[in-house]
Amino acid sequence: MGYLAYARTALNATAAALAIWAGLYLLLTGRGERFNVGGYLLRLSPYMWGLYGISLCIGLSVVGAAWGIFIAGSSILGGAVRTPRIATKNLISIIFCEVVAIYGVIMAIVFSAKIAAVNSDKGFSASDYYTGYSLFWGGLAVGLANLICGLAVGITGSNAAVADAHDQQLFVKILVIEIFGSVIGLFGLIVGLLVTGKAEDFTGVI
């Protein structure tokens, strides 16, 4: 652990030193105006924004699903040693977590349908920029919602497994709570659809 902490500190210090050096270099050579975060963001291609959104959407969703599966799964594993009957029943918690990843996949497919090659010589239109931004923030919303949803379902699934092993009657009751948890991911899905609803496909300036 100690070495990891040292390595991280060294990395942080190096990054900070490089950033300060670059900033001072630009400033002292009279080109300070080039250190311009807003301008940089405006110059980014809308493809960049859109594809970042798609990858965040699928990536964060899968992280959430995987994390949830492992939280629920390790408890099911331990609980099933004594009461093997819980193993099949509690697969439903695993499926709930898996659904979160499927939401991410569906949204990534819906988003990527809006990406198309721009053949115009005059570059991107305003509508293309809107599509890029909305895909980015829609994808981020879906990804974060699914990440949190996967964690929530995983923790509740772990509770359900442990409680089911102790008392069979508790399973259905905790399952209801788990369903409420898994709805959070659905909220993200709806918001993602609404945010990108008005975005047109990429066309360029005609």
Other beta carbons within 10 angstroms of residue 74's beta carbon come to 13
When the beta carbons of 5 and 37 are compared against another protein, the nearer one is 5
Buried b (16+ CB within 10 A) or exposed e, 83-107: eeebeebbebbbebbbbbbebbebb
When the beta carbons of 44 and 87 are compared against another protein, the nearer one is 87
Closest approach of another protein to the CB of residue 81, in Å:
6
The two structure tokens encoding residue 3: 């070495």
Angle between helices 170-195 and 91-112 (to 10 degrees): 0
CB contact set of 63 (below 8 Å; sequence gap of 6+) = 147, 150
Please tell me the distance from the alpha carbon of residue 83 to that of residue 76, in angstroms, as a whole number: 10
User: Among residue numbers 140 through 179, which ones bind another protein (CB under 8 A)?
Assistant: 151, 155, 158-159, 161-162, 165-166
Other beta carbons within 10 angstroms of residue 14's beta carbon come to 10
Part in contact with another protein (CB under 8 A); list of ranges 11-19, 40-48, 63-71, 187-195: 63-71
When the beta carbons of 3 and 113 are compared against another protein, the nearer one is 3
Which residue in the set 74, 88, 120, 168 belongs to the binding site for another protein (CB under 8 A)? 74
Please tell me the distance from the alpha carbon of residue 26 to that of residue 19, in angstroms, as a whole number: 11
Question: Is residue 50 within 8 Å of residue 115, measured between CB atoms?
Answer: yes
Residues 12-51, one symbol each (x = binds another protein by CB under 8 A, - = not), give: ----------------------------------------
Angle between helices 46-82 and 170-195 (to 10 degrees): 180
Closest approach of another protein to the CB of residue 79, in Å:
4
Part in contact with another protein (CB under 8 A); list of ranges 14-22, 48-56, 65-73, 193-201: 65-73
When the beta carbons of 71 and 149 are compared against another protein, the nearer one is 71
User: Among residue numbers 78 through 107, which ones bind another protein (CB under 8 A)?
Assistant: 78-83
Binding site residues, another protein, CB under 8 A: 67, 70-71, 73-83, 151, 155, 158-159, 161-162, 165-166
